[in-house]
Structure 1
Amino acid sequence: MNRTQFIWRVQKSEHTLSLRAFLRERKNLSKRLLSAIKFQGGGLYVNDCPVSVRSELKEGDEVRICLPVEEVSPSLKPQKGRFTIYYEDADVLVVHKPADVATIPSKDHPDHTLANSIMHYYHENGIHATFHAVNRLDRGTSGLLLVAKHRYAHDLLSKAQKQGALNRTYAALVTGVPPSEGTISAPIGRKETSIIEREVRDDGKPAVTHYKRIATNGEWSLVHLRLETGRTHQIRVHLKTSGYPIIGDGLYGGDQRVFTHQALHCFQIHFTQPLTNEKKIIQSDLPSSWDFYTNAMKED
């Protein structure tokens, strides 16, 4: 199912509002999206009549907006790939990304990314949209990723994420035994000698990570982590700096005897469905490849 239009009934408290105020203030349409509707092939209607954003609304009016057809980059070709859908409705997808798949195409990974796979899924199911990732996962990180099916949902979810209303919880396997729980607050910036690597530095952007130790065997531990900010490589950098590098994370000093990618997994996403306001908590199991470590641990 692909929803490209939205319909609302004007309430008593919205009587005499302009259509612009109704859409921007009551329905949280971004200025950019409203402009796209006006100038890129969308439509604005009140009681099925085309109108301008200056139109004054009356109680009981039916407001309908049609989103413009989405342009898909020619480089984002549909390719069948590996991912699992954990939740889907007309506006969003929550999918599981494997650890060896990049989220979006890049110079190093130009195709066979999650974005290519989602575009193949859209093509096969008649969904006329492009790829809108609300959150992203590093190529070596597995787990749940939230995807918006259209620009309106993407705008609303991106705003919710900036306001801290979209919560993700990660699991990581680390070397050593960190304290039972705590908070790492240390600014992160790009390392001067690398275009990829980040580090804790005084002139970096504020970064806060909360963690809790779940199990350990005295040599390595399973921890759960929640981000208060969303800096690039934040969990990986904070754990390395704290002396508990993620197993498999070669970029940040992790032990690679078993894994060649970081043992980091987003296992829970908690969000509010942007159009229905329903609370959603989506969860996944830890990767079975972690059993080598977790089976040897004792829960705290």
Structure 2
Amino acid sequence: MPQILEAQQRVPDAMAGLRLDQAAAELFADHSRERLKAWIKAGDLTLDGRPAKPKEKVYGGEWLRLNAEVAEDTRFEPEDIPLAVVYEDDEVLVIDKPAGLVVHPAAGNPDGTLLNALLHHCPALAGVPRAGIVHRLDKETTGLMVVAKTLTAQTSLVEQLQARTVSREYDAVCVGVMTAGGSVNAPIGRHPKDRKRQAVTASGKPAVTHYRVVERFRAHTHVRCRLETGRTHQIRVHLAHLRYPLIGDPVYGGRLKLPPGAAEPLKEILREFPRQALHARKLAFVHPGSGETVIFRASLPDDLLMLLDYLRDDHETMR
């Protein structure tokens, strides 16, 4: 049965001059631009309470109100893919994503994704846009994700993400020895020459990452990062921008660097570590139903624990 979606967003002044459909795509990011355009044309998405055209300009300060019927999405097939469920109730689902699992189908990954697994785990998610997915982790990043099981929960979580009130904390292991923690406030957008990469660029969207040192080794550092924003590849790009790229990052990692005099087992794990050393360890948000702040944690996966053990042994042996 179709669900009724009700939501509203105020157009920020920074969006002045955008077309209505462009602003709507930014403010209701969990819906496709084509779906939003159809809702605008049908009068289901209004501008300050009145029908408008997709190409109409916004000036900032207007209210976009959405009241639309959402039919089940039948484009994607449910697949019996195991999920590590950390928590589940009638409104939200929290999972611990493994490395190697793509979140959403796309070119090159039409199936075998988290979305397909969610549809098998909870068939009712076919009636929620993107099967309730409100944020993503890269394919090879492990850790916590929250999924909305209802339209109301999805609207609440998206609004919390936009207001930057969802707390997301990551463990990362980077190349180089950091002297202290800090913050990176540097906009991120498409790389000007390589469309598959992101980069710090003046034309990018605002991006803020806070980081602190957990443990230093001879040539590497275990850091803990907290996101204020959620740009694509944000931690990977920001730490590489600081010249502390993640171990195992095939896109932003640069050349392999080995500690001088390191034992062969450490050299081998550094050469062959199969993914970027990044794990979403902590997630906190306001529960859409109870209004209470809920906090979830996920232990480090075995590959990162082993990596840290080797780095720690090397540090203690060589000092």
Q: Output the TM-score relative to the length of structure 1.
A: 0.74
Q: How much does 1:128 deviate?
A: 6.1
User: Aligned AA for 2:278?
Assistant: L
**Once the two structures are superposed, what CA deviation does each residue of 1:160-183 show, in whole Å capped at 9, x if it has no partner?**
111111111011111111233111
CA–CA distance in structure 2, aligned partners of residues 162 and 120 of structure 1: 29
Counterpart position of 1:292: 306
User: Aligned AA for 1:287?
Assistant: P
Contact 1:122 1:129 in 2 (8 A): no
Counterpart position of 1:176: 176
Counterpart position of 2:56: none
- Within the alignment, does 1:277 sit opposite 2:288 as a pair? no
User: Aligned AA for 2:92?
Assistant: V
User: Aligned AA for 1:277?
Assistant: G
Within a 5 Å distance, the mapping from 1:215-294 to structure 2 comes to 215-254=215-254, 255=256, 257-294=271-308
CA–CA distance in structure 1, aligned partners of residues 299 and 219 of structure 2: 23
**SS, match of residue 182 in structure 2:** strand
- Within the alignment, does 1:204 sit opposite 2:204 as a pair? yes
Contact 1:169 1:227 in 2 (8 A): yes
Deviates more, 1:255-264 or 1:168-177: 255-264
Counterpart position of 1:73: 74
User: Aligned AA for 2:234?
Assistant: Q
Change (3 A) 1:99 1:220: same
CA–CA distance in structure 2, aligned partners of residues 287 and 135 of structure 1: 21
**Once the two structures are superposed, what CA deviation does each residue of 1:177-203 show, in whole Å capped at 9, x if it has no partner?**
123311111121211222220111222
Contact 1:129 1:149 in 2 (8 A): no
Counterpart position of 1:160: 160
Q: How much does 1:134 deviate?
A: 1.7
Counterpart position of 1:59: none
Change (3 A) 1:127 1:189: closer
**SS, match of residue 192 in structure 2:** coil
Contact 1:84 1:95 in 2 (8 A): yes
Within a 5 Å distance, the mapping from 1:94-173 to structure 2 comes to 94-123=94-123, 129-130=127-128, 131-173=131-173
User: Which 4+ runs in 1 deviate beyond 3 A?
Assistant: 30-33, 67-70, 126-130
Q: How much does 1:24 deviate?
A: 7.0
- Name stretches of at least 5 consecutive residues in structure 1 with no aligned partner: 6-19, 40-66
Count of aligned pairs: 247
User: Aligned AA for 1:207?
Assistant: A
More helix per residue: 2
- Name stretches of at least 5 consecutive residues in structure 2 with no aligned partner: 10-23, 32-38, 43-67, 257-269
CA–CA distance in structure 2, aligned partners of residues 275 and 95 of structure 1: 18
User: Aligned AA for 1:297?
Assistant: R
Q: How much does 1:222 deviate?
A: 1.0
Contact 2:78 2:116 in 1 (8 A): yes
**SS, match of residue 297 in structure 1:** helix
Counterpart position of 1:53: none
Counterpart position of 1:13: none
CA–CA distance in structure 2, aligned partners of residues 72 and 128 of structure 1: 5
**SS, match of residue 250 in structure 1:** coil
CA–CA distance in structure 2, aligned partners of residues 204 and 119 of structure 1: 34
Q: How much does 1:69 deviate?
A: 6.5
- Within the alignment, does 1:194 sit opposite 2:194 as a pair? yes
**Once the two structures are superposed, what CA deviation does each residue of 1:202-227 show, in whole Å capped at 9, x if it has no partner?**
22222111001101212111111011
The two structures, once aligned, show a CA RMSD in angstroms of 3.2
Change (3 A) 1:138 1:149: same
